[in-house]
């Protein structure tokens, strides 16, 4: 962003906190950008002639006589086909010394889609992972987070999902990514030869936290360009949204706002919703699907960040290590895809819904049997069978290293049913049992 | 003279306006931003500064932008044409907006101002009338939409003139009323009402005495909701709140459904938009959408409009109730509404109450639920608003402020349990934690025994008792082990499982099982209770469990078959064969 001629330069700051500066200025618009001592900042509060700006890269070393120039416009991203295949920082500036892109500047964080103009999502996103495709089927236009403890391989799973999904563009929004993880994504994308359909906006841990606040809006503005203008199917990966929310609380704290639950700003729900609701199926075929990561602390989903996220997103995927098989699995109990009903049994085989439910129910029986075992009780013959079933189910279907077609998943499930249970124990509608029960 | 003002401060969607005249709490104003009007509502006044919450994004707003106050609170427009509409939280018609994205200040009329309606007068000149009395009616879809004396009129009036039967525009004067002082009022087919005030132009509000059939067994049979009653559904996310609400919307025995999607996921609203126009109303055979109005405020729409949306929905409900209709109002979710209150309170820098909610949250919730009810109208007929809200307790904790406050305000409590949802026992309503206070009302008991079967209430209580005892037996089995308890415990547990699998669980995605009429609910409960009274002989607990699973399977197949069809009776025959295998004398 360049300064224009005859712009007023302010040189007297009235207040400085770790993330914000305050000065006297007039004619300033809410949310407009400014350059403070050579650093980008955005107006977050105006009170009479007192203007408060959040300085994205932090205020270290900013003097009270710093030069402040207002741009008169909110943050923008230049959008165009040029975006494809490139890496950008949180401000939308090309990384690795690449040249500026050619394109039309567009305000980030734009208006929401009229719900009446949305199309009902109905296209399956196959990932090859049965823990997702069979039990928690994803659909284009959906928004769903991985809820994971920091030690789980969520970024690896995301990269895998991204590459297997049938998307025209994949947009990575990295917030507080470790440099190693950033390079991991870069490598995976390059090795898959998929770079030309990937766009990345990245803020690493080496960079200031407040900058992260721009990343999702940058990623989604680019996504909207391809989905609306080009009718493309866009998959947006956001990792890690917990760090994004932490950055929100830093700013609100610096502005002396009264903290709401868990020290988060009172507007957390609205702030997250603005991002996640950008997921949409447009009537002309373009779509934006959001898969995000929300890291948890010790699996605690009652914290304000995962809690609010859960109420906005269309389900959640939990990863956990199965102690029985040692595999990382998609937890069938706690995971959920709210949009799966739109495709299972409709775009997939008719037996999908019932097979999925029956398998999870039998897996629950195994969990009960396990509790019995741990409490030192004898197992019934049924319990023994349920446990064996759970072992196979975990190994052949739940593990994230599985990569098979949905029909194969269903056939595998039927085989496991037949191997360990009688038809009545499985309790599936008669007509389906007759058709699919393996002989 | 309208009060004017200019912007002096902006903190996200809270704007401070310096005013040049009187302003009222909750008064509406428009902030002009380069020719676009942004709607806002006064929520606090200090000296000559009005604090307004803006129903739009405040990006680009500057100090000095002009503001014009409107002299009234947030109002809805009431009149023929409300049915089948899709509104935002402020009653703007979403269908009339241009483009895919919602643009700021794109305000559209709630009703089609130029539409014409077939008006038939009900009263004649000289008739004495008061607010909400019916003057005439127009056909709206399949409703006889009543044109009423405006709710804002407080005096007694005499009908001076009324138009004869014919076609009129919404804005035409259809009647002239005169009060005792000889002042005339022209009445059109539309009127306005401030959403935050209840419409109380009715004769009296008795205690509810009928039940409202929903087709959901665990509600109708075990915890029925009354017509004009209140209920709420709390549950952690992923427990099936939305699926349950949709089932109620599709099946409940109501004349009109209002769905308030309050800070809801857009894709869930889209599901309603996509589904409802095609679904048939099981009772009238007409399209479901014809009796539905949707208030749609998705989670990314501005937070202040989210707060308004439930009030907009309730006011429309009260309006149709005044016509003698049975209205079912569903709001999903009232927690998000409460969050909107919290967000604004936070911006106003009010000292927070529990969990940072505003201190008056319990009063606001109680006040809102109190607007539901069955009423006797001025002409003696009845109308009702039944309200069911969902609550999304943070972290599934039922002790959080919104759930606690709602529990005090609502009479039915449908607690969704994570455990049931995890084991795919849907609907995940925990029948033990849940309750319906209505089941304790003598007038409701009398109604149930008269309309379902003479001993109905006792049978229901008995079935609840069996579920409770089954749960206790299950806990004992878990503590002592399968063979550490008498066989009797297993028997007790499995009898409760029959009720669980056959009555409590219901497949919302199955064409037949999803909706169970009361007659069928009675048949199945009586059948299940008959089995509960039977004694069986077993050689061991494993045999017991296998046997009961067969019984459950046969009963479930009955649930999946058309009631009293050949298939249904075949499964019943199969059931009796199974039952006879092990019956003890």
In sequence order, which ranges of A124-206 are alpha helices (DSSP H)?
130-133, 154-164, 179-191
Tokens standing for A18? 């770790």
Identify which of A110, A259, A266 has the shortest CB distance to residue B343: A266
Q: What is the pLDDT of residues B298-314, one digit of tens each?
A: 888 888 888 899 999 99
Average pLDDT for A305-330: 92
What burial class does residue B278 get, using C-beta atoms within 10 Å of its C-beta: 0-12 exposed, 13-18 middle, 19+ buried? Answer: exposed
Judged against a pLDDT cut of 60, whether residue A1 lies above it is answered with: no
| Contact state of B62 with A28 under an 8 Å Cβ cutoff | yes
Decide: helix, strand or coil at residue A248: helix
Contact A280 B12 (CB under 8 A): no
Determine which of B93, B100, B246, B303 to mutate to test the interface with A (most A C-beta atoms within 10 Å): B100
Percent of chain B with pLDDT over 90: 81
Distance between CA atoms of residues B332 and B241, nearest Å: 8
Q: What is the pLDDT of residues B421-474, one digit of tens each?
A: 878 899 999 988 999 999 999 999 999 999 999 999 999 999 999 999 999 999
Cα–Cα distance, B80 to B115 (Å, whole number): 9
Neighbours of B253 (CB within 10 A): 19
Query: Pick from A28, A111, A269: which is nearest to B339 by CB?
Result: A269
Structure tokens at B66: 């002009």
Instruction: Say how far apart CA B402 and CA B357 lie, in whole Å.
Output: 9
Which positions 485-544 of B are in contact with A (Cβ < 8 Å)? 509, 541-542
Mean pLDDT of B112-137: 97
Question: Measuring CA to CA, how many Å separate B560 from each of A342, B219, B281, B509, B571?
Answer: 21, 19, 20, 11, 10
CB-based contacts of B331, cutoff 8 Å, min separation 6: B259, B260, B262, B310, B313, B337, B387, B388, B389, B390
pLDDT tens for each residue of A15-59? 999 889 999 999 999 999 999 999 999 999 999 999 999 999 889
Instruction: Provide, as residue numbers in chain A, all residues whose Cβ is less than 8 Å from the Cβ of B539.
Output: none
pLDDT of A158 strictly over 80: yes
Which residue of chain A is at minimal alpha-carbon distance from B299?
Answer: A273
| pLDDT, position A6 | 66
The answer to whether the Cβ–Cβ distance between B346 and A257 falls below 8 Å is yes
pLDDT at B387 over 90: yes
In the stretch 542-581 of chain B, residues with CB closer than 8 A to chain A read: 542, 545, 549-550, 552-553, 556-557, 560
Provide the pLDDT for residue A102. 85
Residues 6+ apart with CB under 8 A from B530: none
Between CA B141 and CA A26 the distance in angstroms is 55
In chain A, residues with a C-beta closer than 8 Å to the C-beta of B549 are 424-425, 427
Average pLDDT over residues B202-231: 96
**What SS3 state is found at B42?**
strand
At residue B527, does pLDDT exceed 60?
Answer: yes
Residue A285, chain B, CB below 8 Å: the answer is: no
Q: Where is B420: in which H helix or E strand?
A: helix B418-422
Tokens, residue A384: 């023994």
pLDDT at A175: 96
Residue A401 scores a pLDDT above 70: yes
Q: Where does the pLDDT of residue B347 fall: very low under 50, low under 70, confident under 90, or very high at 90 and above?
A: confident
What would the mean pLDDT of B477-503 be, rounded to a whole number?
94
In terms of Cβ atoms closer than 10 Å to its own Cβ (0-12, 13-18, 19+), residue A22 is: middle
Instruction: Classify residue B474 as exposed, middle or buried by CB count within 10 Å of its CB (0-12, 13-18, 19+).
Output: middle
Give B 357-416 residues with CB within 8 A of chain A.
392, 394-397
Are residues B557 and A32, on separate chains, in Cβ contact within 8 Å? Answer: no
The minimum CA-CA distance between A261 and chain B, rounded to whole Å, is: 6
Question: Rounded distance, CA A273 to CA A197, Å?
Answer: 26
Lookup: tokens for B582:
């092990």
Residue B326's pLDDT band (boundaries 50, 70, 90)? Answer: very high
What is the end-to-end Cα distance of chain A in Å, rounded? 69
> What mean pLDDT comes out for the span B370-375?
98
What is the rounded CA–CA span in Å between residue A230 and residue B330? 38
Q: Chain A contacts of B34, Cβ < 8 Å?
A: none
Strands B326-332 and B382-391: parallel
Q: Are A132 and A304 in contact (CB under 8 A)?
A: no
Hey, CA dihedral for B183, B186, B192, B193, is it positive or negative? positive
Q: What is the Cα–Cα distance from A197 to A205, expressed in whole angstroms?
A: 25
Averaged pLDDT for residues B257-284: 86
Phi first, then psi, for residue A314 (nearest 5°) are: -100, 65
DSSP letters, A100-116, are PPP-EEEESS-PPBPGG
Residues of B in contact with A119 (CB under 8 A): 270
Q: Which two three-digit tokens encode residue B227?
A: 């017509």
Residue A23: its chain B contacts at CB < 8 A? Answer: none
CA distance B349 to A382: 60
pLDDT of residue A185: 93
* Shortest Cα distance, chain A CAs vs residue B256, angstroms: 21
Does A331 touch chain B if contact means CB atoms closer than 8 Å? no
pLDDT band at B188 (very low <50, low <70, confident <90, very high): very high
Instruction: Indicate yes or no: CB of A312 within 8 angstroms of CB of B265.
Output: yes
CA B564/CA B220 separation, integer angstroms = 20
pLDDT in tens, B390-411: 998 877 788 999 999 999 999 9
* CA–CA separation, A17 and B221 (whole Å): 61
pLDDT tier, B274 (very low <50, low <70, confident <90, very high otherwise): confident
Q: Which helix (H) or strand (E) holds A34?
A: strand A33-36
Residues 332 through 391 of chain A touching chain B, CB cutoff 8 Å:
333-334, 336, 338-339, 341-342, 353, 357, 360-361, 364, 371-372, 375, 377-378, 380-382
Distance of residue B58 Cα from the nearest chain A Cα, in angstroms: 7
- pLDDT given for residue A262 in this prediction: 87
Cα gap B200→B202, rounded to integer Å: 6
Average pLDDT in the B31-38 region? 95
Q: What is the rounded distance in angstroms from the CA atom of residue B449 to the CA atom of residue B434?
A: 21
Q: b/e map of B105-120 (b: 16 or more CB within 10 Å)?
A: bbbeebbeeeeebebe
The CA distances from residue B300 to A219, B264, B340, in Å, are: 17, 9, 12
DSSP state of B35: T
Cα B160 from Cα B340, distance rounded (Å): 46
SS3 content of chain B, % helix, strand, coil (to 5): 35, 25, 40
What is d(CA B199, CA B128) in angstroms, rounded to the nearest whole number? 20
> What distance in Å separates the CA atoms of residue A354 and residue A360, rounded to the nearest whole number?
10
Count CA atoms within 13 Å of residue A212 on its CB side. 27
Pairing relation of β-strands A287-295 and A233-239? parallel
- The whole-angstrom separation of Cα A282 and Cα A121 is 9
User: Do residues B323 and B143 touch, judged by C-beta distance below 8 A?
Assistant: yes
The mean per-residue pLDDT over the stretch B191-210 comes to: 96
What predicted TM-score, i.e. pTM, was given to this entire model? 0.90
The whole-angstrom separation of Cα A345 and Cα A354 is: 9
Mean pLDDT of chain A: 92
Among the partner-chain residues B9, B101, B242, the one whose CB lies closest to the CB of A113 is B101
Pairing of strands B36-46, B27-33: antiparallel
- The stretches of B260-355 forming alpha helices (DSSP H) are 266-275, 303-321, 334-347
| Average model confidence (pLDDT) across chain B | 94
Using CA atoms of A237, A94, A271, A263 in order, give the dihedral in degrees to the nearest 10: 100
Q: What's the DSSP call for residue B484?
A: G
CA separation for the pair B440, B447 (Å, rounded) = 12
CB proximity under 8 Å: A 91-130 to B: 107, 109-121
pLDDT bin (cut points 50, 70, 90) of residue A5 is: low
Q: What is the pLDDT of residue A375?
A: 86
Quick check: A301 pLDDT over 80? yes
Q: Residue A4 — pLDDT band, cuts 50, 70, 90?
A: low
| Beta strands B292-298; A328-330: pairing state | unpaired
pLDDT digits (tens, 9 = 90+) for B228-265: 999 999 987 778 888 898 899 989 999 999 999 988 88
Residue in B335, B394, B549 nearest the CB of A424: B549
**With a CB-CB cutoff of 8 Å, which residues 48-77 of chain A face chain B?**
48-49, 74
């Amino acid at each position: 962003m360049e300064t224009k001629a005859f712009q007023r330069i302010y040189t007297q700051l009235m207040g400085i906190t770790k993330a914000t500066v305050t000065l006297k200025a007039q004619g300033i618009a809410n949310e407009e950008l400014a350059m403070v001592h050579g650093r980008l900042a955005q107006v977050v509060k105006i009170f009479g002639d007192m203007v408060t700006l959040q300085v994205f890269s932090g205020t270290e070393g900013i003097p009270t006589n710093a030069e402040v120039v207002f741009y008169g416009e909110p943050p923008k991203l230049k959008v165009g086909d040029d975006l494809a295949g490139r890496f950008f920082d949180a401000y939308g500036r090309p990384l690795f010394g690449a040249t500026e892109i050619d394109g039309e500047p567009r305000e980030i964080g734009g208006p929401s889609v009229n719900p009446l103009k949305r199309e009902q999502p109905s296209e399956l996103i196959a990932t090859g992972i049965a823990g997702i495709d069979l039990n928690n089927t994803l659909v284009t236009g959906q928004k769903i987070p991985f809820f994971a403890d920091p030690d789980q391989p969520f970024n690896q799973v995301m990269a895998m999902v991204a590459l297997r999904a049938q998307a025209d563009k994949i947009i990575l929004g990295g917030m507080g990514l470790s440099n190693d993880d950033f390079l991991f994504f870069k490598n995976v994308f390059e090795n898959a030869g998929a770079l030309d359909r990937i766009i990345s906006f990245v803020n690493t841990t080496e960079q200031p936290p407040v900058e992260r606040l721009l990343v999702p809006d940058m990623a989604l503005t680019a996504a909207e360009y391809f989905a609306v203008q080009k009718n493309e199917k866009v998959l947006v990966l956001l990792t890690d949204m917990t760090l994004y929310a932490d950055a929100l609380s830093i700013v609100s704290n610096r502005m002396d706002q009264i903290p709401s639950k868990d020290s988060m700003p009172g507007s957390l729900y609205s702030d997250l919703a603005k991002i996640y609701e950008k997921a949409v199926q447009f009537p002309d075929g373009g779509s934006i699907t959001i898969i995000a990561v929300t890291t948890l602390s010790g699996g605690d989903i009652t914290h304000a960040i995962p809690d609010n996220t859960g109420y906005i997103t269309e389900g959640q995927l939990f990863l956990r290590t199965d102690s029985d098989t040692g595999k990382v699995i998609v937890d069938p109990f706690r995971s959920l895809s709210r949009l799966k009903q739109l495709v299972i049994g409709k775009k997939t085989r008719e037996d999908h819904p019932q097979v999925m439910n029956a398998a999870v129910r039998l897996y629950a029986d195994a969990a009960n049997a396990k509790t019995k075992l741990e409490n030192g009780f004898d197992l019934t013959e049924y319990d023994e069978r349920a446990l064996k079933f759970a072992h196979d189910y975990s190994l052949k279907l739940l593990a994230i290293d599985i990569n098979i077609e949905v029909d194969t998943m269903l056939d595998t499930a039927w085989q496991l049913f037949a191997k360990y249970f009688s038809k009545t124990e499985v309790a599936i509608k008669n007509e389906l049992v007759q058709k699919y029960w393996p002989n | 003279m309208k009060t004017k003002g200019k912007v002096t401060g902006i903190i996200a969607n809270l704007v401070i306006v310096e005013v040049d005249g009187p302003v009222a709490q909750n008064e509406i104003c428009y902030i002009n931003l380069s020719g676009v009007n942004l709607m806002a509502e006064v929520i606090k006044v200090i000296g000559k500064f009005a604090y307004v919450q803006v129903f739009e994004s405040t990006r680009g707003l500057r100090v000095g932008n002009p503001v014009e106050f409107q002299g009234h609170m947030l109002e809805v427009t009431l009149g023929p044409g409300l049915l089948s509409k899709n509104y935002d939280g402020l009653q703007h018609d979403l269908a009339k907006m241009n483009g895919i994205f919602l643009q700021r200040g794109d305000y559209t009329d709630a009703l089609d101002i130029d539409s014409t309606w077939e008006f038939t007068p009900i009263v004649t000149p000289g008739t004495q009338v008061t607010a909400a009395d019916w003057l005439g009616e127009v056909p709206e879809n399949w409703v006889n939409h009543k044109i009423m004396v405006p709710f804002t009129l407080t005096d007694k009036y005499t009908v001076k003139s009324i138009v004869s039967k014919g076609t009129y525009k919404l804005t035409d004067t259809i009647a002239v009323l005169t009060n005792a002082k000889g002042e005339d009022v022209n009445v059109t087919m539309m009127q306005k009402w401030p959403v935050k005030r209840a419409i109380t132009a009715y004769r009296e509000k008795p205690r509810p005495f009928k039940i409202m059939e929903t087709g959901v067994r665990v509600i109708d049979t075990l915890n029925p909701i009354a017509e004009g009653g209140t209920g709420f559904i709390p549950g952690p996310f992923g427990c099936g709140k939305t699926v349950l609400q949709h089932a109620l919307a599709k099946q409940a025995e109501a004349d009109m459904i209002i769905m308030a999607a309050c800070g809801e996921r857009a894709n869930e609203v889209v599901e309603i938009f996509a589904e409802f126009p095609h679904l048939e109303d099981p009772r009238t055979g007409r399209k479901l959408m014809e009796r539905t109005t949707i208030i749609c405020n998705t989670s990314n729409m501005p937070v202040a409009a989210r707060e308004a949306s439930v009030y907009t929905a309730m006011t429309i409900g009260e309006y149709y109730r005044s016509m003698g209709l049975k209205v079912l109002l569903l709001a999903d979710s009232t927690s998000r509404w409460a969050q909107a209150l919290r967000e604004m309170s936070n911006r106003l820098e009010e000292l927070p109450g529990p969990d940072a909610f505003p201190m008056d949250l319990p009063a606001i919730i109680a006040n809102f639920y109190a607007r539901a009810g069955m009423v006797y109208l001025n002409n003696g007929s009845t109308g009702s608003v039944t309200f069911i809200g969902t609550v999304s307790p943070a972290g599934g904790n039922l002790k959080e402020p919104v759930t606690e406050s709602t529990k005090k305000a609502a009479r039915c409590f449908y607690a969704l349990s994570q455990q049931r949802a995890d084991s795919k026992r849907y609907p995940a309503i925990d029948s033990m934690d849940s309750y319906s206070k209505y089941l304790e009302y003598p007038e409701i008991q009398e109604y149930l025994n008269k309309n379902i079967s003479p001993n109905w209430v006792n049978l229901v209580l008995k079935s609840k008792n069996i579920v409770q005892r089954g749960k206790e037996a299950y806990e004992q089995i878990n503590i002592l082990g399968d063979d550490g308890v008498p066989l009797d415990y297993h028997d007790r547990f499995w009898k409760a499982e029959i009720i669980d699998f056959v009555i409590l669980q219901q497949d919302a995605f199955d064409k037949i099982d999803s909706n169970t009429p009361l007659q069928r609910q009675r048949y199945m409960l009586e059948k299940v209770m008959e089995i509960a009274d039977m004694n069986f002989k077993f050689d061991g607990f494993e045999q017991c469990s296998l046997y009961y699973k067969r019984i459950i399977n046969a009963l479930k197949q009955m649930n999946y078959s058309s009631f009293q069809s050949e298939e249904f009776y075949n499964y019943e025959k199969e059931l009796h064969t199974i039952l006879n295998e092990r019956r003890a004398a």
